[in-house]
Amino acid sequence: MTLPDREPAEPPGSAGFPRPAPAALPLDLGPGGAAGPSAGKPSSRASSRAKPPRLPEAALPLDLGPPSPGPGPGVRTPSRAQAAPSASAPTAPAEAIASAPLPDADPSAGPAVASADANASADANASADANASADAKPAAKKKRAAKPKGAREPAAELPVARVCVDLPLPHLDRPFDYLVPSDLADTAVVGGRVRVRFAGQLVDGFVLDRVETSDHTGRLAYLERALSAEPVLSPEIARLARAVADRSAGTLADVLRLAIPPRHARAESGARRGGGVLPVDAEGRSRPQTDGFGRYRAGPGYLRALADGGSPRAVLAALPGEDWPRRLAEAVAATLASGRGAVTVVPDARDLERLDTALADVLGPGRHTTLAASLGPEERYRRWLAVRRGEVLAVAGTRATAFAPVHDLGLAVIWDDGDDLHAEPRAPYCHAREVLLVRSQLAGAGLLVGGFARTAEAQLLLETGWAKPLEADREVVRAAAPRVVPVGDDRDLAADPSASAARLPTVAWRAAREALAAESPVLVQVPRRGYVPSVACGRCRQPARCTVCAGPLELRGRHDGPGAGRGDGEVPACRWCGHLAGGWTCPECGNRGLRASVLGARRTAEELGRAFPGITVRTSGRDGVLTTVGPGPALVIATPGAEPVAEGGYGALLLLDTWAMLTRADLRASEEALRRWSNAVALVRPARAGGRVVITADGAIPTVQALLRWDPGWHAGRELADRAELGFPPVTRIASVTGTPDAVADLLRLADLPDEAEILGPVPVESRTGAGDEELERALVRCPRSLGGALAAALRAAASVRSAHKAPNPVRIEVDPLELL
């Protein structure tokens, strides 16, 4: 297996979980641009003045990476003639997490700081000069030379503010200098929101720093307004946002838009303590309970290290049936016992609700808060402010919570990191796991990556020694796991010849009947909702294809209700060309009957309801997700990810249509299938309590084998080795470049890629917006993981050039996207 052979040095710690040694890993900002448009002029007449001289730029204290080459322009109206950051500017490569600890902060380095030039005050008397007569009296001339009424004076102390302007243009991704007027000296605080004039428009921004002087010798524009004196952007989050933007070829403004919620004036002007949250103090602190982690090797030592102020990093392989919200709450409690804060990120609102209950039970009321979009803008901002002000040290939420400004961070937790809900769909398309990895290193905090399954990214952390495993012994695993029975191998077909074509094999039907007879609920997982999308031969299950174009056949109208079907006069038709295939015959076995390739949750519920009359049937999916179900007999039909928690656990689980997930055209198909199956199996009672799982798949498939043995680490190791052999992430770094053919070609031409980079494609892709008339292509750029920073910097520099030249068609850049195939 090809992996980086360099492992990070582990500093001293306790219980085998050392405190990470922050290594100085360069996180390039990329070329900051030798020249480019900058902030807007204060008035329309200012553009007629001569451009100020260009001087070397200063470094931003809150940033990471080396200063970008090139001088900084003054504040002028952007024009096409201005040059953009050079795509060929030198960049420093970023090391991989596989070979060294994640990047540490370098306060002495930062991006170039562009100056803000204000010429408005020099032209303030232009109209008065035009109306003056040639024989004006000396007194009139002296009056004109006096300071205009209402002129602004710079602040007496730290009169220069360095502002991150909220603009998404790559070539403007750098701070700009503005003068702080005396009337805003107390409200224009570092980290506060301001409004500035940029290219003739008022735009929002954040004050990154205030200094005595600017490197620019021309005049600077004044801040127009300070929105509030609340320092919402902390230095730690500013550094984190810069590092995330550099790793994902994005802009600082895009990351800050994700990290800081919109301002709500009423919430900000309210009481200092928001959302009923109590401060965490020294009263009542006790040693955290370690009984829950006692089933895992090194589990108690991990909690002790957190309670003692250490920063251990671990990957948790949760046992079947584990009360994972309580385990996470125990780790948070251990961190709070050391006087530090903790951030916990979960995939969705259902998981957050369970975690909220566990945190309240373990920590006590008022010792934590949650952040979720369902709270509404005012309440969410009020709770976020409580975290920013240090009124609460424990916060939990979904992916945006990875940026929560917790004071003195001691632990970052992410649960089920393989869930695609952790991936941000907006630029710069960062993943919550990567954000927490970077933040853990920058803050010197501990890390816990947990789940019932394990991703290849988590396995890489273990194989490189960056994190330690938290696993249980095999005897403990066998005692906690239900019995898993595969259906689909030769022995099963010999015993039940109809098993390959039956919707519900005999083994699955028997397991469901026994569980219902024992007054236990039965969970049925199907990979689709609704009715039949396509059909296959009713005897051999060969997909039904059109004889004209080989497209898939469908029974139109069948998805509209349970009463439709071929027997009701429906004729199979091609989904591609529309050809009617009334005389279709299976080319393999000669059968004329058709059946659904994959039946959805509602159709499955109807069939099982007829098979088990008198039993309550409930569905959980997109139309309505159930949170919990009672302990009585019931059939629960759910799509993956929507399985409700049963009181006391399910008596049986049926995993149907498993091939639909295993055969997806996706790099992560097997990993995702095992993750979804494992999350469902974890809801079933142990085998000693009668818990049983029936999976309609061949037991010889490695993914099914990992489920039978409950060995996610073995499967993740195989997956990582396969990706290393094929050159796929996380062993390598891959950037996806999507846009029109001309735009993709233009960006790749401008990008000064590393010599080891390899371009795959471009190939045609479908539009994400569904616009069929838009022709799009995608190219993949692959390089060794150690050159990921250089790759991101090169692509961002090329995007800056196109942005400065006002290229008509944008290009979407994603680093290590979830979907590659």
Tell me the pLDDT band of 566, cut-offs 50, 70 and 90: very low
- Which whole number is the average pLDDT over 326-339? 95
**Tokens 């994400």 -> residue:** 768
Does the pLDDT at position 626 exceed 70?
A: yes
Nearest-10 Cα torsion for 416, 417, 421, 422: 140
Whole-number pLDDT of residue 602:
64
Q: Which tokens is 70 given?
A: 């090139």
Q: What digits encode the pLDDT tens for the residues 21-30?
A: 443 333 333 3
Question: Do 63 and 233 contact (CB within 8 A), yes or no?
Answer: no
* Mean pLDDT lowest among 321-330, 384-393, 405-414, 657-666: 657-666
Whether the per-residue pLDDT at 84 is higher than 50: the answer is: no
Summarize the confidence of residues 417-446 as an average pLDDT. Answer: 95
Task: Answer for the pair 691, 684: CB distance below 8 angstroms, yes or no.
Answer: yes
Q: Look up tokens 């004071």; give the residue.
A: 407
Evaluate the omega torsion of the peptide bond into residue 11 and state whether it is cis, within 30 degrees of 0: no
Find where tokens 């991101």 sit: 792
E strand map for 294-352: 313-317, 341-345
Give the pLDDT score at 580: 84
Please list, residue by residue across 386-420, b when 16 or more beta carbons sit within 10 angstroms of its beta carbon and e when fewer do: bbbbebbbbbbbbbbbbbbbbbebbbbbbbbbbbe
Q: What b/e string do you get for 459-498 counting C-beta neighbours within 10 Å, with b at 16 or more? A: bbbbbbebbbbbbbeeeebeebbbbbbbbbeeebeeeeee
pLDDT for the residue numbered 129: 43
Q: Which residue bears the tokens 């492992």?
A: 7
Residue 807: is its pLDDT beyond 60? Answer: yes
DSSP letters of 56-98?
A: PPPBPTT--SPPPSSPBP-S----TTSPPPPTT---PPPPPTT
Cα–Cα dist 349/286, whole Å: 30
Give the pLDDT of residue 517.
93
Rounded CA separation 101/437 (Å): 9
Share of the chain above pLDDT 90, in %: 55
Q: What is the pLDDT of residue 767?
A: 73
198 phi and psi, to 5 degrees? Answer: -135, 120
User: What is the identity of the amino acid at 154?
Assistant: P
| 575 pLDDT higher than 90 | no
Measured CA to CA, the distance from residue 536 to residue 659 in angstroms comes to 14
CA-only gyration radius of the chain, Å: 31
Task: List, for residues 176-209, the tens digit of each pLDDT value.
Answer: 999 999 999 999 999 999 999 998 899 999 999 9
Judged against a pLDDT cut of 80, whether residue 342 lies above it is answered with yes
User: What is the tens place of the pLDDT at every residue in 230-240?
Assistant: 999 999 999 99
Residues 746-805 have pLDDT tens digits of 999 999 999 999 999 898 887 765 545 578 999 999 999 999 999 999 999 999 999 999
The count of other CB atoms within 10 Å of the CB of residue 628 is 10
pLDDT category at 568 given cuts 50, 70, 90 is very low
Is pLDDT of 210 > 90? yes
- Residue 4 confidence (pLDDT) above 60: no
Q: What is residue 489's predicted lDDT score, i.e. its pLDDT?
A: 58
Classify 586 as helix, strand or coil.
coil
- Inform me whether the pLDDT recorded for 42 exceeds 50: no
- pLDDT for the residue numbered 55: 34
